[in-house]
Structure 1
Amino acid sequence: MDNTTLVLVHGFWSSTATWHKLARRLGDDPRLAGLRLHSFGYESPRLRLPLSWTRIPDYHDIAQSLSAELTFRVPHGDLVLATHSQGGLIVQRFLAWMANEGRARELARIRLIIMLACPNQGSDYGRSIRRMTGFGRHAQARDLQTLSADVAAAQRTVQRQIVAAIRLSDRECPIPIHAYAGRSDNIVRRPSAQGGFTHVSTIPGNHFSILDPEAKGNITAAVISGLIRQTAGAAPSQLEPPPANYPLSAAPAPGTKFAVSIGEARAVMIGDGNTQINDGSRRSADMDPVDGLPPED
């Protein structure tokens, strides 16, 4: 674990303090000896003060600052990203932006992403309250509403160019993403928390106790620890060979004959340079119908 950093990304109306108990439990796990922990913080106030010189950053602002954070504050080694709630949407916006910018190769050191109670399909909780109090104008609350177009666009990119990727390129980087729902979460329900991801499950806890290792029945620390140890012992996914069903060319067996259709082509190159002219009228007379070669004398 000496070469791995766990980066923690908090959610809406929250801060890095939300991870303190869970981070302490993970830090005390002897099986994770050497693992470094790093909390990524960003502004998520409830309201913007009138006439303030600052604004509430939106998802694009935060996602791009995450890129700088990982580059300059965690510059070396493998990375595991763990997110809570809105933090999962921030990370997906970051992944999509990097892939669309042709910078997917820079994501190669991210070995694993774990999302806890992420509102992949939005959250209906308190929707009427948000509307009455003006949170519809909140730069982050807008993307928490159900079926946000920007959230959906980022998720399509992540599914195509991260989750389904089979090779590392400028616009693709295969990274396993695990999405967990809180079993009693009434803010982000299971369908939204699991979204369209492949590696999904439900673990004990509501939207907040899912981060509390002291809560009754909580297994979040054990889940994160297990995934990190499993990933640390595996080869990087971007170096894996193509799957068995990936189309590959095979050499024909000696003596195999092929039927060749030349259509409206003016010439066909055969062997080392023997060219048979095809002017249309001579095709049936000069070409063998099975082998596609001139008949023998």
Structure 2
Amino acid sequence: MRQAAIVFVHGLFSSPATWTPLRQELSAVPAVADQFDFLFFEYATRPVTWNPLRRMPDLDTVADSLRGFIEDFTTEHERIILVTHSQGGLVAQRFLSRMLQAGRGRDLARIRRLVMFACPNNGSDLFLLARKGFIPMTRNTQERELKPLQTSVLETQRKVLDGIVAAPDVSRDRCPIPIVAYAGESDNVVVPSSAAGFFPETGVLPGDHFSVIRPNGPDSRLVHAVRKELARALSQPFPLESQPGADIPHHRRPAPAAADVLTESEVVGPISIPADGTTRRTTEFFLHGGPVEQLRNIDIVVSSENTYLQLSQFFKPSTSGSLRWAAAEKSASGQILEDVTGEHLSAWLRGHGSYGLPIPEGTVAPTPSGALRKRNIQRIYHAAIATPVSGTNNYRIAHHAIPRAVHNTFELARLEREELGISLSSICFPLFGAGRGRMSAVESFELIWESLMSELADDPTWVIHFTTRRRTIFDLLHGRLRAKKQAYDQTT
């Protein structure tokens, strides 16, 4: 049983077989196959039924069936992601709406994403035209709800927008769940404006109404989009519980984001994992939660920087800014007497002819630990990970920068051990790119992990630490480390 499940919901006149091409491509991706179980919800949806003993279920009935399916088959999963096609998006929305209406908003907290492809959020003009011709005799109650501006659909969307998309926290009548609506650029059944509907997160992918969910290979935009949404779903924090007085207008309460910040140090470990594939040589891993300046007894702390190696300001809460402040020599009143990391990093850049210029992604530069020496931290390594996007305040993260930075960290540590005679045996990594770089925590961890295994295969005697200030990321990393250990234990 994997930690997360994808529940696929097909559309009108379709079946779970419509997902076969996408399932095959996703199954070939280890980062997906190792973390997600694939579940396929099926419901009755035929153009015609002549059996007088059988009726075609309406969307309310299908939505209740989806609720039962999720309750029956996902009880052991920590997270659920709904992936739908066409009418399947309306089924998922109706399910969410009816759960809120029944006062079961808290039961939706495990659902961390709804991804809809070609969903007729504003109806289908093509079906409306066809209905005037040969479809009136289908007697299909589901098809009738595809009429543009159908009242039942609009009511469902209003409930979903208010109680799901705009929900600030979770309670009996609301639960925040990210919803993404994708359209097919050539779709004439559900045009892009209808697929987008009123939802704030939208996208357009190549294909018509049916080919939009049929990938043309592992590098197709569809596979890339689904992988991105799955990664975001894994790192998406669980919703906060409604605070007392939350439903009272103008009631003041702490900002929800603050509850996710660890203000005190929390440590898990050691977790021993055989890095070389045997049980004879293991590496010890530790996980630290809380302010990075509270770290102690670690030889090297790595900081994620931009490709200009310009540190964050002292007052910034980032890893870079926090380490810069913690390493600075200060007077009794707190005045900065020596900006240890800033000054040494500037000297390093000038010495390499790079001051004011971007350096290659993955480059790692060393500085002394300054005042952090009192906490038994010997060196701070600065890894160039994030490339500024010209003309904006955004950053781009090149995937190759992360494994390159991990490799260069070990290379530099080995070099400093030999040339400076420093005893270095432990390294602490942040999640590269998971801050302003907007990379998912899971994707960052897996890129670091793969590179670590390569380095530790030759020398597993290093002690490895991870650090984060966010509770949700701390819990996520703890789960990933346990899963890694369990995977290795099962092979022995």
Separation of aligned partners in 1, 2:219 and 2:117: 16
More displaced stretch, 209-218 vs 10-19: 209-218
Amino acid at match of 1:35: F
The 3 A distance-change label for structure 1 pair 160 and 136 is farther
TM-score, with normalisation over the residues of structure 2? 0.48
Which whole-Å deviations, capped at 9, do the CAs of 1:250-270 have from their partners, x for residues lacking one?
9xxxxxxxxxxxxxxxxxxxx
Is the 1:113–1:176 contact (alpha carbons within 8 Å) kept by the matching residues of 2? yes
- Preserved contact between residue 183 and residue 204 of structure 1 (Cα < 8 Å): yes
Residue 160 of structure 1 corresponds to 162
CA contact under 8 A between 2:47 and 2:138: conserved in structure 1? no
Note the 1:183-262 alignment, pairs <5 A: 183-214=185-216, 218-238=220-240, 248=252
What secondary structure is seen at the aligned counterpart in 2 of 1:132?
coil
Structure 2 counterparts to residues 20-169 of structure 1, below 5 A: 20-32=20-32, 33-49=34-50, 51-77=51-77, 78-133=79-134, 134-135=136-137, 137-169=139-171
Amino acid at match of 2:197: G
SS at match of 1:5: strand
Please give the per-residue CA displacement for 1:120-167, whole angstroms capped at 9, x wherever unaligned.
000011433323331574211110111110000000000000100011
Gaps of 5+ in 2: 255-492
The aligned amino acid for 2:114 is I
Structure 2 counterpart of 1:29, which letter?
Answer: V
The code of the aligned residue for 1:25 comes to: E
d(CA) in 2 for partners of 1:34, 1:92: 25
Structure 1 residue ranges without an equivalent (≥5): 251-297
SS in 2 for 1:105: helix
In structure 2, C-alpha distance between the alignment counterparts of 1:249 and 1:102, rounded to whole Å: 23
Instruction: Tell me the distance in 1 between the aligned counterparts of 2:239 and 2:24.
Output: 29
Letter in 1 for 2:3: N
SS at match of 1:237: coil
Deviations 1:151-201 (A, max 9, x none): 000000000001000111000000000001111111101110000001111
Amino acid at match of 2:31: R
Q: Distance in 1 between matches of 2:5 and 2:242?
A: 22
- Pairwise CA distance, 1:74: 2.0
Report SS of the residue matched to 1:144: coil
Q: Could you state the TM-score of these two structures normalised by the residue count of structure 1?
A: 0.78
Calculate the aligned-residue CA RMSD, in Å. Answer: 2.3
Select the structure that is richer in helix: 2
Q: Tell me the residue number matched to 1:260.
A: none
Deviation of 1:237 after TM superposition, in Å, equals: 3.5
Return the alpha-carbon distance in structure 1 between the equivalents of residues 253 and 117 of structure 2.
42
Q: Distance in 2 between matches of 1:110 and 1:3?
A: 13
Give the structure 2 partner of residue 279 of structure 1: none
Partner of 1:277: none
Q: 1:228 and 1:72 mapped to 2: Cα distance?
A: 22
Which digits, 9 at most, give the CA deviation of each residue in 1:13-69, with x for residues without a partner? 1000000110111111122123100000001001111x4311111100000011111
Sort the Cα spacing of 1:247 and 1:96 in 2 relative to 1 into closer, same or farther, 3 A.
Answer: same
- Residues 93-138 of structure 1 deviation map (CA, whole Å, 9 limit, x = unaligned): 1111000110111111001110000000000114333233315742
Q: Contact 1:125–1:187 (CA<8 Å) still a contact in 2?
A: yes
| Whole-angstrom CA distance in 2 between matches of 1:126 and 1:95 | 25
Native 8 Å contact 1:179 1:201 kept in 2: yes
The question of whether the paired residues in 2 share the 8 Å contact of 1:5 and 1:35 is answered with: yes
Q: Determine the structure 1 residue equivalent to 2:175.
A: 173
Contact 1:8 1:82 in 2 (8 A): yes
- Would you say the 8 A contact 2:105–2:171 is kept in 1? yes
- How far apart, CA to CA, are the structure 1 residues paired with 2:14 and 2:221? 22
Q: Which amino acid aligns with 1:81?
A: L
Q: Is the 8 A contact 1:136 1:142 kept in 2?
A: no
Q: 1:73 and 1:64 mapped to 2: Cα distance?
A: 14
Identity of aligned residues (%): 36
In structure 2, what is the Cα distance between the partners aligned to 1:120 and 1:249? 35
Provide the C-alpha distance between the structure 1 equivalents of 2:61 and 2:175, rounded to a whole number of angstroms: 22
Give the Cα separation in 2 of the matches to 1:102 and 1:204.
Answer: 39
SS at structure 1 position matched to 2:38: strand
Counterpart-to-counterpart distance in 2, 1:102 and 1:40: 24
1:249 deviates by 6.6
CA distance in structure 2 between the partners assigned to 1:34 and 1:216 by the alignment = 18
Whether the aligned pair in 2 keeps the contact of 1:102 and 1:170 (CA below 8 Å) is yes
With a CA cutoff of 8 Å and minimum separation of 6, indicate the structure with the bigger relative contact order.
1
Closer, same or farther in 2 for the Cα pair 1:44/1:249, shift >3 Å?
Answer: closer
Once residues 121 and 207 of structure 1 are traced to their aligned partners in structure 2, the CA distance between those partners, rounded to angstroms, is 15
Asked whether the equivalents of residues 174 and 238 of structure 1 are also in contact (C-alpha less than 8 Å), the reply is no
Aligned residues: 246
In structure 2, how many angstroms separate the alpha carbons of the residues matched to 1:170 and 1:35? 28
